[in-house]
Amino acid sequence: MSTPRHVRPIPAANRWRSTATGLLAGGLLVINTLLWVPLLMLAALAKLLVPLRALRLRADPLLTAIAQSWIGGNSAWMRLTQSTHWDVQGVSGLDPRGWYLVCANHQSWVDILVLQHLLNRRIPLLKFFLKQQLIWVPVMGLAWWALDFPFMRRHSEDVLRKHPELRLRDQQTTRRACEKFALIPTSVMNFLEGTRYTPAKHQRQQSPYRHLLKPKTGGLAIALDAMGHRFQAVLDVTIVYPDGAPTFWDFLCGRLDSVVVRLRQQPIPAEMLGLDYGSDAAARQACARWVHSLWMDKDALIDALLAEARAVPRTDGRPPSRSTGPREKAPPARLY
């Protein structure tokens, strides 16, 4: 099981500097959002008021360009305010004009910034599966709707067994979103665990994995059902924070020393394509077995990365870092 985050002891004399960094980073995030969101709202309102296919084909690339510019602005303030060491492998060979099914483990809100920072303009804009309630988030709910993020209601298996029509409703919602994705290159992003990892959730689930929660395959199965032949690969992303998952405020304050990211492109098995995941229980079980295999490999990879990190001696008096290599200088900002 993953160990708790090592909290960096901050000398009193430097505490103000950390707080000032957090306020500066947070302020720059707000400024960047206020710069780009109004433009996104204008395009979203046009798309809402005039729902014509011809307008959609013109509006979607504009909306995507605005979102990518917002992400680029976030990367700029991250480079300005953070000294995080990025240990990244697997970004070469990605296609910004391809279709990807992206899966990642989930530990912190920082995961989203990590993914966007690394993958922006390397692959098409990430489209996240979101909880239905998030559509009511002021401003951002409309932005996510305009960008065709699928909104899903999450139901337990017990509820779905009693009310199978709920499964059909989510399938139809996701299928409609995936049909839109087929119009332009898209990356469908799914945190398969459905929630952020915590030791308490891990224990409550009795998860069979050491560092992961049990994966939920519903959204992934529907995406395969709707556009499986369109995806050129599964992009399997593993995120490890050597000193434990940071809070968002930790990140803003510059307390994230290092992050390790491994990306692996894998073909979707031919036997997983062309199945009816909506009504065929055997197809859903096959999908669950395939995802279990991916999750076993990811769990083993996290274990190996943490084992490597524990072997690296620290020179700053803190507990042994779980970094995956020597504390070397971060790569040039233009790379990551």
Tens-place pLDDT, residues 182-195: 777 889 898 999 88
How deeply is 140 buried, as exposed, middle or buried, from its count of CB atoms within 10 A (0-12, 13-18, 19+)? Answer: middle
In DSSP terms, 260 is beta-bridged to: 87, 240
Share of the chain above pLDDT 70, in %: 79
**Domain architecture of the chain: domains with CATH:** 84-310 (3.40.1130)
Question: In 3-state terms, what secondary structure has residue 266?
Answer: strand
Give residue 324's pLDDT band: very low, low, confident or very high (50, 70, 90). very low
The predicted structure's pLDDT at residue 329: 35
Nearest to 127, CA basis, from 73, 176, 190, 173: 190
Read off the pLDDT of residues 196-251 as tens digits, 9 standing for 90 and up.
999 999 999 999 999 999 998 877 887 887 777 889 899 999 999 999 999 999 99
Question: Is residue 12 very low, low, confident or very high in pLDDT (cuts 50, 70, 90)?
Answer: low
Contact in structure between 95 and 56 (CB atoms under 8 Å) = no
**pLDDT tens per residue, range 146-169:** 787 877 766 556 666 676 666 666
Give this prediction's pTM.
0.84
SS3 170: helix
